[in-house]
């Protein structure tokens, strides 16, 4: 699934959706690790542990000096090819102004720093409940890994493993079988 996400993300912004515990974060962190190993520009933000009550506070949270914004830093980040701004657990930002601020910042990055691909993980429920997040990812879903409820959202769905898939994994990996 990481390979499918990578191929899909190379072509544009992607919302990564799935049920709680389906593996969205694991998939994003694996992709971020691969990209960094290849010296690709990656900024990874865990939305569940930061204060995004304002664009200025978000910039401080990710270590940017107060005179600059995340958008300005990404605009001026030199580099060849696409960079990847990865926001994990965007659904955790639904409290207060955090979601609205993150959506505004992401929209500005998309418009003002176009070399950056946006990858955002969000629970299915939260994507369904947020037209604002849906508008950030207009387009066609992944051809195979998709949730039919989001026909006009460019997304990739991470599905939970079936009982058969769990059994196959356990039989292939003895350490997991004893867990």
pLDDT string in tens for the chain (179-residue length): 999 999 999 999 999 999 888 899 999 999 999 999 999 999 999 988 888 888 888 888 888 987 789 999 999 999 989 999 999 999 888 666 688 899 999 999 999 999 999 999 999 999 999 999 999 999 999 999 999 999 999 999 998 766 665 666 666 666 655 65
Rg (C-alpha) for the chain, rounded Å, is 17
**What pLDDT is attached to residue 48?**
86
Sheet containing 116-123, strands listed edge to edge, beginning at the edge strand earlier in sequence:
42-46, 83-88, 116-123, 14-18, 155-157
Taking the C-alpha atoms of residue 16 and residue 23, their distance in angstroms, rounded to an integer, is: 10
Quick one: pLDDT at residue 61?
86
Question: pTM (2 decimals)?
Answer: 0.88
Give the pLDDT score at 160.
Answer: 77
């Amino acid at each position: 699934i990481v390979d499918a996400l990578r191929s899909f993300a190379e072509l544009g912004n992607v919302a990564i959706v799935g049920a709680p515990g389906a593996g969205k974060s694991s998939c994003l962190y694996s992709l971020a690790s691969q990209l960094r190993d290849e010296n690709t520009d990656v900024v990874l933000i865990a939305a569940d542990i930061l204060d995004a009550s304002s664009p200025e506070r978000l910039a401080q949270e990710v270590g940017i000096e107060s005179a600059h914004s995340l958008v300005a830093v990404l605009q001026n980040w030199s580099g060849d090819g696409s960079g990847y701004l990865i926001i994990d657990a965007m659904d955790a930002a639904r409290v207060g102004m955090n979601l609205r601020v993150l959506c505004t910042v992401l929209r500005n990055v998309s418009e003002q720093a176009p070399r950056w691909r946006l990858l955002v993980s969000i629970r299915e429920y939260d994507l369904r409940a947020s037209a604002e997040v849906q508008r950030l990812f207009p387009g066609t879903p992944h051809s195979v890994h998709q949730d039919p409820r989001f026909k006009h959202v460019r997304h990739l769905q991470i599905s939970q493993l079936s009982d058969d898939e769990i059994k196959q994994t356990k039989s292939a990996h003895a350490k997991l079988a004893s867990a």
